[in-house]
A and B are shown apart, each in its own frame.
Chain A
Amino acid sequence: EAQVTQNPRYLITVTGKKLTVTCSQNMNHEYMSWYRQDPGLGLRQIYYSMNVEVTDKGDVPEGYKVSRKEKRNFPLILESPSPNQTSLYFCASSPKDRGNYEQYFGPGTRLTVT
């Protein structure tokens, strides 16, 4: 089944404790993105990647890091999480022939930072 998977789905952590949220897609898509969703703010793009080793900042990259060492994986790293990063996070992927536009979304990761 074609899908985007994220792990973990739920995470509660404390301020300053480094964490990684994994994202993997099995559709051989070139493009991948991370978004955060907050009430009343819609989805805001954190980072995106157009291919292996090619990443760029979205609208809200502060406090986040990403890497794209393999085509299928695009982990999101919070080096020192803070409470304002409590949010619902979505990973998405898209085939190159549709740019980064027609995106397939993962199920989301709900992160709470205390």
Chain B
Amino acid sequence: AQSVTQPDIHITVSEGASLELRCNYSYGATPYLFWYVQSPGQGLQLLLKYFSGDTLVQGIKGFEAEFKRSQSSFNLRKPSVHWSDAAEYFCAVGANAGKSTFGDGTTLTVKP
């Protein structure tokens, strides 16, 4: 069975500081991996995705993520956080057609 773990429930960073959100997955084959962002009161928006190929993927809003097969990880990074990045972030794995599994989410707070 596939699963996703986001070890950090809540992270606080200062505006302008770098950010890394952790995601670990469990799946028997090469997974399809995603990061979504949810602003308060909103639905989820896709930030970036990994299907195959280059293990460093670029997304919207200046985010990137790196797939590391040996560590079963897909961590999300941003070099300089903006106050508007405050939101909840979800890592997800999609392996079998139709079946998707999300992590429990990491809430990001940005300090001025």
Residue numbers of A with Cβ under 8 A of B are 4, 31, 33, 35, 40-45, 48-50, 56, 58-59, 90, 92, 99-108
Bound-complex Cα distance A36 to B51 (A): 25
Indicate if the CB atoms of B90 and A43 lie closer than 8 Å: yes
Q: How many residues of B contact A (CB 8 A)?
A: 24
Main secondary structure of the interface of B (DSSP, over half): strand
Bound-complex Cα distance A101 to B45 (A): 12
Residue numbers of B with Cβ under 8 A of A are 6, 9, 32, 34, 36, 42-46, 49, 51, 90, 92, 94, 97-105
Bound-complex Cα distance A82 to B44 (A): 26
Among A48, A99, A101, A103, residue most surrounded by chain B Cβ atoms (within 10 Å): A101
Contacts A56-B99, A99-B98, A108-B43 supplied; 4 other A-B pairs, CB < 8 Å = A43-B102, A45-B99, A45-B101, A99-B94
Q: Say how far A23's CB is from chain B's closest CB, in angstroms.
A: 12
Indicate if the CB atoms of A100 and B102 lie closer than 8 Å: no
Q: Which of A33, A104, A108 contacts B100 (CB 8 A)?
A: A33
- Chain A hits for B32, CB < 8 A: 99, 101
Indicate if the CB atoms of B104 and A42 lie closer than 8 Å: yes
Q: Say how far A28's CB is from chain B's closest CB, in angstroms.
A: 17
Indicate if the CB atoms of B45 and A105 lie closer than 8 Å: yes
Indicate if the CB atoms of B46 and A102 lie closer than 8 Å: yes
Indicate if the CB atoms of B100 and A100 lie closer than 8 Å: yes
- Chain A hits for B90, CB < 8 A: 42-43
Given A101-B34, A102-B49, A50:B43 Cβ within 8 A: no
- Chain A hits for B94, CB < 8 A: 99-101
Indicate if the CB atoms of A40 and B104 lie closer than 8 Å: yes
- Chain A hits for B104, CB < 8 A: 40-42
Indicate if the CB atoms of A107 and B100 lie closer than 8 Å: no
Q: Which of B46, B97, B98, B102 contacts A44 (CB 8 A)?
A: B102
Q: Which of A42, A48, A103 contacts B103 (CB 8 A)?
A: A42
Given A33-B100, A43-B90, A44-B102, A107:B34 Cβ within 8 A: no
